Structure 1
Amino acid sequence: MTVGTQPDVTVIIGAYEAMPYLVECLASVEAQTIDPARLEVIAVDDGSTDGTGDCLEEFAARVPMPVTVIRQENSGGPSGPRNVGLGKAAGRYVFFLDADDRLGPEALERMVAMADENGTDVVLGRVEGINRTPPKSMWGKTLPRTDVFSSNIKFTLSAQKLFRRSLLERHGMRFDESLFTGEDALFTLEAYLRADGVSVLADYTCYYLVGRDDGKHVTKTGSYTLRFDSARALMALIEEMVPAGDKRDVLMVRPFLITLLPQFGPRFLKDSEEVRRHKLELAKPLMDAHWTAGVARRLRVHERLRLHLVARQRPELLLDVLEFMKAKKEPEARLEKRGTQVYLAYPHFRSKAAGIPDDIYLAEPREARAVPGYRAAAANTFLRRAVRKVRRTLRARNFKAAA
């Protein structure tokens, strides 16, 4: 890189015990089609003992782009190395690359071009999984400019995105080092909310999410209490940055559905009584503060029902629902009001003893459409009849005038 010129993108790699996956990760950086003069790499070895640091040093000595290798004591999580790298970055954009994953060859060139062409502050490149299941709902089509409310990007909050560095510096954004999991969700959602536009590059695989054979992924390890910490932090951020109403409810779906609800799924059946009680205790303040009708109606019936029972602190009823689901039973679909409403009769539907409101079991249109006999447009019957009446009146008047 010419002295005094600013690189287009800084790739930040935090690495801990990353061998042998790091070899292919670094090879994917070296294979980038972007001019090496437009690229810099900052790699932070977070106290590894498996040769990770030596591998990074060898890479730095061999490749044409500038590479800074930092070795430090283990920080205990991914936030520390990322923050160190971010503090050293000089690029117009930064990209956070996990040491066991890899980039598509044209990833950086395409993402920088997308951001420059559209003036956007964040770019999401299509992700594919290798022995892992990546998020999928946001890759339907390329979106030159969108936001977190009008797309599905809220369901991919990992840090592996292209971020305009001036956005991060202007708002003093760093990863929360007090969180062991979910720190990237907090960082990325804040960036979405502060960004002047987000781009989605869906027609090229930019990132390969690699499943380690040893299963050592941060998101799969650690105590369940860490998940509640993550949900609490994300909900607090949404409450702080988005006024109450539909937009806040749209975003709150994410922590409820992705972070909180899994704690009250099949694993809850295997939990001890003590753990069950503790999970409900941890969930209660979150439900009290953030569980609204607007969030509930955006969920499927079984999701809404389970979270309603968590909010009501009714574990005995929740266990019945979970056993029903474990047995792979299908709830009876009950059509009412001439087929305009569908209730899915999961356990305790219209049980006086349980006292669960009917609307908890009411299927929203996306779920109801799968039920034979559902009349999706019937809710507008009155309006349609009125329009037909007006049309008949106008036709009759025109006929009389012509006669």
Structure 2
Amino acid sequence: MTVAQPDVTVVIGAYEAMPYLVECLASVEAQTLAPERIEVIAVDDGSTDGTGAYLEEFAARAPMPVTVVRQANSGGPSGPRNVGLSKAAGRYVFFLDADDRLGPEALERMVAMADRNGTDVVLGRVEGINRKPPTSMWGKTLDRTDVYSSNIKFTLSAQKLFRRAMLERYAMRFDESLWTGEDAVFTMEAYLRADGVSVVADHTCYYLVGRSDGKHVTKTGGYLKRFDSARALMGLIERLVPPGAKRDVLMVRPFLVTLLPQFGPVFLRDTEEVRRRKLELAAPMLAAHWNEGVAHRLKVEQRLRLHLVAAGRPDLLDEVLRFLQAKKEPEPVLEKRGTRLYLAYPHFRSRAAGVPDRIYLAEPREAKGHPGWRQGPTTSFTRRAARKLRRLLSPRRATPRGAATT
């Protein structure tokens, strides 16, 4: 008798996951998708706390087929996920962390969303339990979107529904050489290769659980691993996206989320050796990918910090960091009849520092709300719009493109 292909394979990589694993598996068992439409592949990554035994107990009683793999500890989440993916048979794959849990109806809703829209990746709304998840992408349910026109680039965790045919077509696997950020590289590649992405924003599909013992993998790892992660993500974007505005939009993510925190208040507490090493590691990434297209998409203080790192000026950066640490507000400087707003963070118009004025220029999204500011043609966005309008109205463009001429 031919066994029907399951709709979704739930891959669970587990290491020292007790007692969180109990509720994790209960959330799988409670799914409204019929049991025969789900398969579970659970990989015990060398646990010593009873995780493997509990997985086998669950497999013996679960209503859906469950495969348990027990292996020596691999040191990170990539290995177990890759093992599970290699054994998956479902049309879709969902990666579930053993200390988290699914929301009610999560799999049914996400599979239906992918089937209805023909999309290759589905994001389900995430809520945190003793953890703070990203929120900017849950404003609206989207049947079909992409990584450029939505905020999905700010959620690159692996806990999403992926069409397995796409993963196999591109031989996608998690990078086992990365000790953190491996899911960011995998998920960004999926976004870029996907034939559409869906967002389920009106129903909680996933609960991100903060462990009381502090052993969650994203909370571990030194600064060197963060630089490895940023380098890998930038490299992927460089390989898959040609230079230009689209690449700049995506480069914001590794600069803002992974690299910039290394040059926050922690930098003031770092030893001289660590500070020197961080600047050395950041230099080639900034040289290759830091440009005006990325910079103007950041807030002024974020842009200023990265500019000073790129310039190799930790002495100037320290003053900026102390200013931020003290929660001071920069003095607003309005010019050009209120259409140009500078935020006077430290070193603004200091001849000794030599930081260009453009670094302090607030873009419209940041300038909104400042008394006296009004959007005008001197902002970068409206300058571009004005130039485009002038070209369209030029007599040389009076004949529509492609029309016959006599």
TM above 0.5: yes
2:126 aligned partner: 127
1:349-388 map, 5 Å: 349-377=348-376, 379=378
In the alignment, the residues of structure 2 paired with residue 377 and residue 263 of structure 1 have an alpha-carbon distance, to the nearest angstrom, of 35
Q: Report the 3-state secondary structure (helix = DSSP H, G, I; strand = E; otherwise coil) of the residue aligned with 1:275.
A: helix
CA shift for structure 1 position 49: 0.1
CA shift for structure 1 position 219: 1.4
In the alignment, the residues of structure 2 paired with residue 378 and residue 57 of structure 1 have an alpha-carbon distance, to the nearest angstrom, of 66
2:404 aligned partner: none
CA shift for structure 1 position 138: 0.2
CA shift for structure 1 position 28: 0.2
1:50 aligned partner: 49
2:261 aligned partner: 262
CA shift for structure 1 position 217: 1.6
CA shift for structure 1 position 378: 5.7
Query: Deviations for 1:192-237, whole angstroms, at most 9, x for unmatched residues?
Result: 0000000000000000000000111211111100000000000000
2:8 aligned partner: 9
Query: Deviations for 1:41-66, whole angstroms, at most 9, x for unmatched residues?
Result: 00000000000001100100111100
Residues 39 and 144 of structure 1: is their aligned pair in 2 closer, same or farther, counting only changes over 3 Å? Answer: same
Letter in 2 for 1:310: V
Unaligned stretches of 5+ residues in structure 1: 388-403
Query: Deviations for 1:320-360, whole angstroms, at most 9, x for unmatched residues?
Result: 00000111110000000000000000000000110000000
1:301 aligned partner: 300
1:3-402 map, 5 Å: 3-377=2-376, 379=378
Q: Report the 3-state secondary structure (helix = DSSP H, G, I; strand = E; otherwise coil) of the residue aligned with 1:40.
A: strand
In the alignment, the residues of structure 2 paired with residue 317 and residue 212 of structure 1 have an alpha-carbon distance, to the nearest angstrom, of 38
Letter in 2 for 1:60: A
Query: Deviations for 1:83-104, whole angstroms, at most 9, x for unmatched residues?
Result: 0000000000000000000001
Query: Deviations for 1:241-291, whole angstroms, at most 9, x for unmatched residues?
Result: 000000000000000000000000011111011110010000000000110
Unaligned stretches of 5+ residues in structure 2: 391-406
Q: Report the 3-state secondary structure (helix = DSSP H, G, I; strand = E; otherwise coil) of the residue aligned with 1:137.
A: coil
Letter in 2 for 1:229: D
**TM-score, with normalisation over the residues of structure 2?**
0.93
CA shift for structure 1 position 376: 1.5
CA shift for structure 1 position 303: 0.1
In the alignment, the residues of structure 1 paired with residue 275 and residue 49 of structure 2 have an alpha-carbon distance, to the nearest angstrom, of 38
Q: Report the 3-state secondary structure (helix = DSSP H, G, I; strand = E; otherwise coil) of the residue aligned with 2:125.
A: strand
Q: Report the 3-state secondary structure (helix = DSSP H, G, I; strand = E; otherwise coil) of the residue aligned with 1:108.
A: helix
CA RMSD of aligned residues (A): 1.5
CA shift for structure 1 position 105: 1.4
Q: Report the 3-state secondary structure (helix = DSSP H, G, I; strand = E; otherwise coil) of the residue aligned with 1:303.
A: helix
Choose 1 or 2 for highest CA Rg. Answer: 1
Task: Among all aligned residue pairs of Structure 1 and Structure 2, give the percentage whose two residues are the same amino acid.
Answer: 79
CA shift for structure 1 position 377: 4.1
CA shift for structure 1 position 136: 0.2
1:397 aligned partner: none
In the alignment, the residues of structure 2 paired with residue 3 and residue 266 of structure 1 have an alpha-carbon distance, to the nearest angstrom, of 60
CA shift for structure 1 position 4: 2.3
Letter in 1 for 2:314: P
